[in-house]
Amino acid sequence: MTVSNVMAVADLVKAPLVANPDLLSGKPSLIGLTREQLADALRQKGVPDKQVRMRVSQLWHWLYIRGVSDFDAMTNVAKDMREMLKQHFTIARPEVVEEQVSNDGTRKWLLRFPPRGAGRPVEVETVYIPEEGRGTLCISSQVGCSLTCSFCHTGTQRLVRNLTSEEILSQLLLARDRLGDFPGADTPPGAFVPTGDRKVTNIVMMGMGEPLYNFEHVKNALLIASDGDGLSLSKRRITLSTSGVVPEIYRTGDEIGVMLAISLHAVRDELRDMLVPINKKYPLKELIEACRNYPGLSNARRITFEYVMLKDVNDSLEDAKELIKLLKGVPAKINLIPFNPWPGTNYQCSDWATIEKFADFINQAGYASPIRTPRGRDILAACGQLKSESERMRKTERLAFEAMMIAGHGEDDD
């Protein structure tokens, strides 16, 4: 798929596609709760202790294996129990404000969640990228972002609030709904999805926000997503991307155990301070040391380093040489990302010949360095282009830098 083939939006569905009154009811959701939290919630509503374990198992099955979003669909749960659940809780999906489908099959959903202290409902974007043999979902962890990376469109939207475990996990459930990825569901007519049992095979925490500034909610959501008795995604197929929150990198390995990606983009502190300002707090030496000591790191479980190619900024052969020196001793893959333009940016993408020369040098040094094929540019769903209207901008100036960054993360085989 060439860039020229994806420069027109194939389909645009405007909203609301999904609107559930339970979203505005203030009822707590059961989605995103751990088994222990789910048990406590049931006990508080009078479920006898001797029934709690069985009820938790039933709910877990219906929520994460069957993918239901209506208590009445839980056919093996007694009617009085279903009525109690409907009265006190919700399992509703978020409101789908807008769905866009790129000519290359990339899908992007603009989702609306309740205010929860933000003063008004908030919106985030979730992107699905189908490839041959795999389908990758890019999930947001915050509304907006506090990091202000200078090349990233998402970074121009101020942080509104963290997403809850429920809201993070609901993005996966909603995508599986829309793709017909739960038992008995149908794939949308004409959708490009991978062959095989699953439409969503991989997830990446690369959407809006810095996941490690919302650690506990991200942790709970990813542990549920990888739970073998539910959604059952392999941790080798889940990638968390961070700009370099060093203390939480260690915790990610110990407490979550998923694949790690680092938004690197520069090999010298003075440049990275400008491109990725968190570098001023956690400079390259500390960041690379944390990567070197990431739990479970091996040649089979490499860290991915994201490197956006910016013309005359970080794309010289000298930069490539310094990159190899910087990563010495770290089992790594280096993803080279042609810069995706967005309205108002002053950066340009490196020339293709420059990118290929950069990649060749890294390959010759023994590192895999795939060049990302641009995906979803026509709907601003590519790497770094995601942005929601929770900061009131024109919709045509929202969506794009994430999709290309999404593709190719995690293992192809469990």
- Residues tagged in the binding site annotation for [4Fe-4S] cluster: 145, 149, 152
The residue type found at 242 is T
CA distances from 136 to 19, 298, 325 (A): 25, 23, 31
CA atoms within 13 A on the CB side of 87: 9
- Listed in sequence order, the residues at least 6 apart from 84 whose beta carbon sits closer than 8 Å to its beta carbon are 45, 46
Name the phi and psi angles at 303, rounded to 5. -90, 135
Cα angle vertex 304, ends 220, 309, to 5°? 120
Which residues contribute to the annotated binding site for S-adenosyl-L-methionine? 209-210, 241, 263-265, 340
Catalytic site positions? 125, 383
Which residues contribute to the annotated binding site? 145, 149, 152, 209-210, 241, 263-265, 340
Q: How many CB atoms lie within 10 A of CB 348?
A: 13
Nearest to 203 by CA among 229, 236, 237, 171: 237
Nearest to 42 by CA among 54, 22, 32: 54
Chain-centroid distance of CA 362 in Å reads 27
Length, in residues, of the chain: 414
